[in-house]
Amino acid sequence: MYTKTLLTLAFTASSLLASNLANDAKNAGLKPIPKSKAELSKLIDNPKNPITNAKVELGKKLYFDPRLSKSGFISCNSCHNLSEGGDDGISAAIGHKWTANPHHLNSPTVFNAVFFSSQFWDGRDPHLEAQAQGPIQAAPEMAATPEHVVATVTSMPEYVAEFEKAYGKDVKITFEKVADTIATFERTLVTPSAYDNFLNGKEKALTNAQKDGLKTFIDKGCVTCHNGIALGGEMNAFNVTGTYKFQDVGDFKGDKNGMVKVPTLRNITQTAPYFHNGQIWDLKEAIVEMGRIQLGATISDKEAASIEEFLKALEGKKAPITIPQLPASTSKTPKPDIK
């Protein structure tokens, strides 16, 4: 009887601690991906470009189609590989003619990008629809023109039929419409995790070590920048209390005010290398460096390991994605141009 009472008290105390930690996290600005599909749909949908199954399936094909690029070799998935972390796993993105990004910028993950308030490292576009137009046209990336994209898509009857199914018989296939459709697919790339289950009330979703790490994450001030649903995705000052030790790799200095998009921490264990120029490969090293240059804090090895343990809880569940079978090229499809 006495032992049973002690166990009951211990369980109650543990539940209270977990509940308090979840509340502390929410009070610090952390938000979970909603467990309700209806709530999630409201968050990821774009009223000006509503999500439908037909658009998503067509957007997926366009996302994987390398013929949208000038060379006929590079697709969206080349730099944002959905088979792993939604990025390319290299320091600087590689594009047309094997060109490294001239600013030595690292490819951000596309997973959960729908929750970002700013797209691109300099935050120049707020929405995925606008963002999707950029890499297709960028010379060191896909290097295509809007005319090339439209000519490619409209050269294949299967694509034309799918656009009509998605948008109606009177649809005009434009470059913007192609980008919008890709963005519709990207809006569905959401990866709920154990962390979300915990904040949504499932106390045992995190291990004790992960709960300790979450507390350390909050106490050290990491939530100052890494907050919201994405734990990032907004613009913030960089090099606040120190200078990033690899600042001289590439010439990126942020936007006109020196602000840089805060990278999401979701699936962070799968998106090395870290920082805008991809110079740090070890997650604990990245945590310590962020503490030094953003918080003016010395993060010990023990604290870094604790925070890293929490970050593992952000490894999300990815919906199975079947590589789409693309339409066959026709005699009207633009030929690959590697010049």
Distance CA 278, CA 294 (A): 17
3 found inside a domain: no
Q: Per-residue pLDDT tens for 187-207?
A: 999 999 999 999 999 999 999
**pLDDT tens digits, one per residue of 62-92:** 999 999 999 999 999 999 999 999 999 999 9
pLDDT at residue 12 in the model: 46
Confidence of residue 11 (pLDDT cuts 50, 70, 90): very low
Q: Considering 141, 186, 289, 308, which one is annotated as catalytic?
A: 141
pLDDT at 13: 47
Given this model, what pLDDT does residue 295 score? 98
175 & 108 share domain: yes
Q: Does 14 reside within a domain?
A: no
Average confidence (pLDDT) over 167-190: 98
Which residue range(s) make up the domain with 294? 24-40+191-312
Do 165 and 204 lie in one domain? The reply is: no
Q: Is residue 121 part of a domain?
A: yes
| pLDDT tens digits, one per residue of 242-269 | 999 999 999 999 999 999 999 999 999 9
**CA–CA gap between residue 112 and residue 33 (Å, rounded):** 10
Beta-bridge partners for 95: 99
31 lies in a domain? yes
> Is residue 322 over pLDDT 70?
yes
Mean pLDDT across the stretch 120-129?
95
Binned at pLDDT 50, 70 and 90, residue 18 comes out as confident
Q: Which of 161, 186, 211 is the last residue of a domain?
A: 186
Residue ending a domain, choose from 153, 186, 219: 186
Quick check: helix, strand or coil at residue 235?
A: strand
Q: Is the pLDDT reported for residue 15 higher than 90?
A: no
160 and 28 in one domain?
Answer: no
In a domain, 7, yes or no: no
- What is residue 9's predicted lDDT score, i.e. its pLDDT? 45
Nearest Cα neighbor of 315 from 261, 275, 271 is 271
For 219-245, write each residue's pLDDT tens digit: 999 999 999 999 999 999 999 999 999
In this structure, the answer to whether residues 160 and 220 fall within a common structural domain is: no
pLDDT at 208 over 50: yes
Q: Residue 262 has which token pair?
A: 């805060």
Q: Are 105 and 195 within one domain?
A: no
- Are 255 and 175 part of one and the same domain? no
Using pLDDT thresholds of 50, 70 and 90, give the confidence band for residue 177. very high
- Total count of domains within the chain: 2
Shared domain for 94 and 148, answered yes or no, is: yes
Task: Look up the pTM and report it.
Answer: 0.93
pLDDT of 24 = 98
Work out the average pLDDT over 87-110. Answer: 97
The CATH number given to whatever domain includes residue 121 is 1.10.760.10
To the query of whether residue 303 is one of the catalytic residues in this protein, the response is: no
**Same domain flag for 64 and 32:** no
Say yes or no: 220 and 304 in one domain. Answer: yes
Q: Give yes or no: residues 239 and 290 share one domain.
A: yes
- For residue 273, is the peptide bond before it cis, meaning its omega torsion is within 30 degrees of 0? yes
* pLDDT over 70 (residue 132): yes
Domain membership of residue 9 (yes or no) is no
Residues 180, 211 within the same domain: no
Which SS3 state, helix, strand or coil, does residue 45 take? Answer: coil
Output the pLDDT for position 143: 98
- At 8, the pLDDT band (50, 70, 90 cuts) reads low
Q: What angle do CA 76, 313, 118 make, to 5 degrees?
A: 40
Asked whether residue 326 is assigned to any structural domain, the reply reads no
Q: Please indicate, yes or no, whether residues 49 and 32 belong to a single structural domain of this protein.
A: no
DSSP letter (8 states) at residue 46: -
SS3 187: coil
Residue 319 domain-assigned? no
Task: Tell me the per-residue pLDDT of 261-317, one tens digit each, with 9 for 90 and over.
Answer: 999 999 999 999 999 999 999 999 999 999 999 999 999 999 999 999 999 999 999
Last residue of a domain, one of 127, 153, 186: 186
Mean pLDDT of 24-36: 98
